[in-house]
Amino acid sequence: DAHNNIPSPPGLPIIGNLLDIQDEVPIRGIEHLIDRYGPIIKLNFLGKERITIASVELLEELCDEKRFWKTPGDGLASLESKENPAEKSHTGLFSAPTEEDMDWQQAHRTLMPAFGPISIQSMFGEMHDIASQLVLKWARMGPSYRIPVTSDFTRLTLDTIALCAMDYRFNSFYQDELHPFLQAMTSTLTASSDRLKISSLIQKMLPWDKSGEKLNADREYMRVLSRELVQVRRDHPTDKRDLLNAMVNGKDPKTGEMMPDGLISANMVTFLIAGHETTSGLLSFAFVNLLQSPDAYFKAQQEVDRVVGKGKLGIEHMKNLKYIEAVLRETLRLTPTVPAFTRSIRRDNPNDFEELAGGKFAVNREDKILCLISKTQRDPKVYGDDANEFKPDRMLDENFLRLPKAAWKPFGSGVRACIGRAFAWQEAQMAIALLLQTFNFRLDDPSYKMKIKQTLTLKPDNFYMRATLREGIT
Ligand code: HEM
């Protein structure tokens, strides 16, 4: 039948195709198989079957919300602690199933206004505050400093989301050691992304292995701390317009109910995680691209000089930074920091299977289908022979708005698309504009070849640059 038409690259007994993803960047392994077997393949990991699709045409079908919906992947689900037996466990927006599940529905309805344009614009001042700390650091360190780009951008995005979401200052630019919350979060993220690595599967079988206990302790620590933050806010109410207040005081517009503390803290942790890795990766890749493409760098800096000049960067400039917007779009096309998402047949879809590509293939109800956007966004049928090249012009509005809908999906799709998109966009656009206004940048190693590192998200590895203050900037 059509299900069997899906090519399935041979694997080994028991472990299946696990060896194919032991690459340092696991999705690369899947991408290589796609190159060999075509835009839809069936893989087997330890007995679990996984289908992957990698063309814009197929993604268009998988994004049809009448037929398919999000099934949370296996990765992030393990991040949120559910181990307090005394109360109902709660799941954050990212990992919750869509269906009648109250957690997703309630948090989604309560939080949508808090992520809307007016609310995000009101966060500009705080975003600018943290970005100015980054500018100060690089200015003071001077041109001989090898800027560790991804870690400084991680400080930026983490401090920004913590300040805007819950009025908490990690002050990461003023410490070498990561805050214990961040250490716990980082090791949980690493454990989650390593779970299919053979080395970590073997490690877990060793009798003296303590990684499970450490993971539980880290999760518990995050749960307790985020619960404390909710309690502190309840004890000391403020009228600040942040995400925590939206959750503590907000009512579900449909039911009038308020969010229980466990649901608030699960979402707090979700925002801290989902809200920083992704944006910091985007900024890092954008700088790699700009520094390796002098023409684009020049156009971006010229745009800042024309739109903002030497004065203070403000929210009013954002809508006129069209070229920088195209740079960000093109960066997320080539290196989507969330490189894939998962879909399956909707529970309320009466069909037990769905045909794809006009009946050539079919997927069953129990199938989880990985939509590999790191590949669909380089589809030569849509982007042409130069699909692998960085060309921001193709992402200027006049071209971007003409693309097929499924050609650019770095923020996911439909009701389960990224709730923080406007937040990330404002933060990234502002940071790039402020940095290009203040400094001239160059690669630390002019022959740098981009290498990608995959934890939960993608980031450039071993990337350093140098910054010199521009003339007239003090
Ligand atoms: C969902 C990407 C920034 C919070 C998603 C999804 C993607 C994504 C692809 C959908 C995943 C799926 O279908 O399984 C990104 C990228 C970002 C970014 C590329 C930055 C460049 C942010 C920020 C926040 C955030 C700043 C929070 C402030 C979330 C949440 C969800 C989500 C809560 C789940 C939404 C739901 O299912 O209702 N993001 N994200 N993201 N993102 Fe983002």
What confidence tens digit (pLDDT) does each residue in 183-198 have? Answer: 888 778 777 666 666 6
In this structure, are residues 261 and 277 in contact, taking their beta carbons and an 8 Å threshold?
A: no
Residue nearest to atom 17 of ligand 1 (CA): 278
Percent of the chain with pLDDT over 90: 67
Task: Name which of 323, 370, 423, 304 is nearest 21 in CA terms.
Answer: 370
Which amino acid, 342?
T
* Cβ–ligand 1 contact at 341 (below 6 Å): yes
- As beta bridge partners, residue 466 has 442
Mutate which of 418, 457, 458 for ligand 1 pocket (most atoms within 8 A of beta carbon)? 418
Centre of ligand 1 to C-alpha 457, Å, is 11
Q: Is the CB of 457 under 6 A from ligand 1?
A: no
**Confidence band (pLDDT; 50, 70, 90) for 3?**
confident
CB 274 within 8 A of CB 94: yes
Q: Determine whether the shortest distance from the Cβ of 412 to ligand 1 is under 6 A.
A: yes
Active site residues: 278, 411, 418
Q: Are 460 and 289 in contact (CB under 8 A)?
A: no
Buried b (16+ CB within 10 A) or exposed e, 261-286: bbbbbbbbbbbbbbbbbbbbbbbbbb
Q: Is the pLDDT of residue 444 over 90?
A: yes
State the pLDDT at residue 28. Answer: 86
Asked whether the ipTM of the predicted complex exceeds the cut of 0.95, the reply is yes
pLDDT exceeds cutoff 90 at 285: yes
pTM, two decimals, is: 0.93
Does the pLDDT at position 85 exceed 60?
no
> How does residue 115 score in pLDDT terms, banded at 50, 70 and 90?
very high
Q: What is the largest CA-CA distance in the chain?
A: 70
Taking only the tens place, the pLDDT of each residue in 32-61 is 999 999 999 999 887 888 899 999 999 999
Task: Count CA atoms within 13 Å of residue 225 on its CB side.
Answer: 19
Average pLDDT over residues 219-242: 89
Report how far ligand 1's centroid is from the alpha carbon of 111 (Å).
Answer: 13
Q: Give the pLDDT confidence score for residue 78 in this predicted structure.
A: 44
How far apart (Å, rounded) are the C-alpha atoms in residues 208 and 221? 23
**What's the mean per-residue pLDDT of the chain?**
89
**pLDDT by residue (tens digit) across 286-345?**
999 999 999 999 999 999 999 999 999 999 999 999 999 999 999 999 999 999 999 999
Distances (CA, A) of 438 to 185, 403, 433, 449: 32, 34, 9, 26
Return the pLDDT at 79.
46
User: What radius of gyration do the chain's Cα atoms show?
Assistant: 23
**Alpha helices, H only, 87-175:** 102-111, 117-121, 124-141, 149-166
